[in-house]
Amino acid sequence: MTGQTGPQQAGRSGGRSTRQRRAVVAELDATDQFRSAQDIHEALRRNGDPVGLATVYRALQTLVDAGEVDIVKTDDGEAVYRQCNPTHHHHLVCRNCGNTVEVTGPTVERWTERVAAEHGFHDVSHTLELFGLCPDCAVREEPGAAT
Amino acid sequence: MTGQTGPQQAGRSGGRSTRQRRAVVAELDATDQFRSAQDIHEALRRNGDPVGLATVYRALQTLVDAGEVDIVKTDDGEAVYRQCNPTHHHHLVCRNCGNTVEVTGPTVERWTERVAAEHGFHDVSHTLELFGLCPDCAVREEPGAAT
DNA sequence: GTAAGTGCAAACGGTTTGCAGCCTC
DNA sequence: GAGGCTGCAAACCGTTTGCACTTAC
């Protein structure tokens, strides 16, 4: 052991506690925003903590699998990751600057359950994401806007 | 069948009225289900109405652009298309057999609008898809299920 | 010491694009 | 006749995988 953080918390992170794994977790921990694997990969390299792209993907996958990280597919087909929040919620994402607001929707949750039940569907999950222009970006778009 | 609907409705389909374009539209018209571009491409070839894959993608894109076709990205990152229904609605999709049920959610619509407004977001759109096991597939999965 | 983790690069799968020829208007 | 449309195949882009090496435990 070299003195890092200590190798005791390994069990929960869905795999061995390696420098790379920790780097990825740390990167996710550092922000509330959704990050793409490539984004994280680049940030890590810049941080002087280079980790292979494939390794980033594998670590992310492991974390998602372990339920520690949330994954959402953007409209571009890109996967973005974020430290998991224990409470189920959805996201209001600015399609211009990417700023994200967490929103919880008991209303929606109940609705989906009801609808699923009405149609006899079981084990139903749902994806719900809101995309729009945040206050800042909205004012910047307004002026020249038409239609 | 060569005397389909007639070549008069060209203007609305977002481009020139070619055999290929019509074939794609006809294929979409033939079903209520979501189809992938590749699926349509193959079906067309089997139908004796071969259309290039790229052409299928371009036609689909044009149709989506014209608001005649609905596009949804699956969890696999594949895009699936479907003739557009004038009324806004969401989908309850069986993750096993792909069977799709249309669901409308005034409740959800209102909720998204309210949430967006609360956060000052403008021009908000939302994606909401429900995935589960339809009644048929549910019974088939139940028996041996564990974990 | 052993098996999991890592890195590289090639493979992959869906989608897009360049370009020469065809066809609709 | 002109310009959009088509087809092929190669390019793309994000993601996954094979394999030999490294490293945590």
- Look at chain B and report how many structural domains it folds into: 2
Mutate one of B70, B119, B121 to test the A interface: name it (highest A CB count within 10 A). Answer: B121
β-sheet bridge partners, residue A130: A92, B126
> According to the model, what pLDDT value does residue A60 have?
95
In this structure, are B75 and B15 located in the same domain?
yes
Q: Which of A41, A69, A86 is the last residue of a domain?
A: A86
> According to the model, what pLDDT value does residue B145 have?
47
In this structure, are A68 and A97 located in the same domain?
no
> According to the model, what pLDDT value does residue A145 have?
47
Which residue would you say has higher pLDDT here, B12 or B106?
Answer: B106
In this structure, are A78 and A11 located in the same domain?
yes
Mutate one of A65, A115, A118 to test the B interface: name it (highest B CB count within 10 A). Answer: A115
In this structure, are B125 and B65 located in the same domain?
no
Identify whether the C-beta of residue A80 lies closer than 8 Å to the C-beta of residue A71: yes
DSSP B48: T
Angle of CA points A80, A81, A86, to nearest 5°: 135
pLDDT-above-90 percentage for chain A: 28
* Whole-model pTM over 0.85: no
> According to the model, what pLDDT value does residue B6 have?
37
Residue B37 has pLDDT above 70, yes or no: yes
State the CATH number of the domain containing residue A21. 1.10.10.10
pLDDT-above-70 percentage for chain A: 79
| pLDDT tens for each residue of B38-51 | 999 999 999 899 99
Residue B9 has pLDDT above 70, yes or no: no
A132 touches strand C (CB under 7 A): no
In this structure, are B98 and B133 located in the same domain?
yes
Domain that holds residue B144: 87-147
State the CATH number of the domain containing residue A112. 3.30.1490.190
Interval A96-114 mean pLDDT = 80
Question: Residue A143 to residues A43, A126, A136, A139, B68: CA-CA distances in angstroms?
Answer: 35, 36, 13, 7, 30
d(CA B23, CA B2): 11
In this structure, are B70 and B97 located in the same domain?
no
In this structure, are A91 and A79 located in the same domain?
no
